[in-house]
Structure 1
């Protein structure tokens, strides 16, 4: 492969490796596609535009990528980004597992809570029955006492 001659051409290599559409690149950096076509592709990229690209794509500043981008020496190294994506996926998996665990705990809590509510309802029903039974027993005892007073006289 021939050596890439311009920063703009190396930017295209980066975009291709990262599966970033050129229209997305233009939109994210605020640059015009005309700066990257025809004769303009061979022209220099201004410092302000380069700074904007590095702000939008900070991975171009890491692991010798900036040297590659500016001089063409070395290689484009995106391994750190891929490692970070792996960490992000692991974080997502952990977050998913944590979410599942919390949902499971909530379901168990909800079940226990419903069980406690059921038990409390049954206790309240039994207390009412108990109160009625005591009231009936007291009434029956009163009646017996009243009848026995009449017999004892």
Structure 2
């Protein structure tokens, strides 16, 4: 392995070995991609950002991995039980996110279908109300005619 110069480059190496996409890393660590591109890739990583990364990827906290990350000396060890466990958890987390996304998509589709059904029912109710109002007007007209005819007969 070539000597990786910066902590940021070592983080990318770690992510590649773990199979983590950069977009996933940015989201999970709460980082901006601009901090890891161009001149930003060569700039120092603040302690606060490094702390966030270590909290998201605790296997980097392990002694030999931390020394490798900070100094570049030694080597990255991903064969730890904790690393494997965290990788499994990460995969489960991604699968859960996919399932949640699918459930939300299904709920949204059901909501849209129900919304369309409600709109159809409302239009039917409006049509029936109009017919009802027309029938009442017609009935009132007939009643007025009957009353006027009965008044003329009574006289």
**Fold shared per TM-score above 0.5:** yes
State the 1:134 CA deviation.
Answer: 0.3
Q: What is the CA RMSD across the aligned residues, in angstroms?
A: 3.3
Partner of 2:42: 34
Partner of 1:19: 21
Partner of 1:113: 122
Bigger-Rg structure (1/2)? 1
State the 1:57 CA deviation.
Answer: 6.3
Q: How many residues align?
A: 128
Distance 1:113 1:12, change over 3 A: closer
Give the Cα separation in 2 of the matches to 1:82 and 1:32.
29
Partner of 2:65: 69
Give the Cα separation in 1 of the matches to 2:109 and 2:97.
18
Q: Which segments of 5 or more consecutive residues in structure 1 lack a partner in the other structure?
A: 36-44, 147-153
Contact 2:34 2:40 in 1 (8 A): yes
Contact 2:15 2:21 in 1 (8 A): yes
Residues 54-65 of structure 1 aligned to structure 2 (within 5 Å): 54-56=51-53, 58-61=55-58, 64-65=59-60
Report the TM-score, using the length of structure 1 for normalisation: 0.65
Contact 2:6 2:42 in 1 (8 A): no
Contact 1:26 1:32 in 2 (8 A): yes
Which of 83, 90, 94 is the matching residue for 1:81? Answer: 90
Report the TM-score, using the length of structure 2 for normalisation: 0.64
Partner of 2:29: none
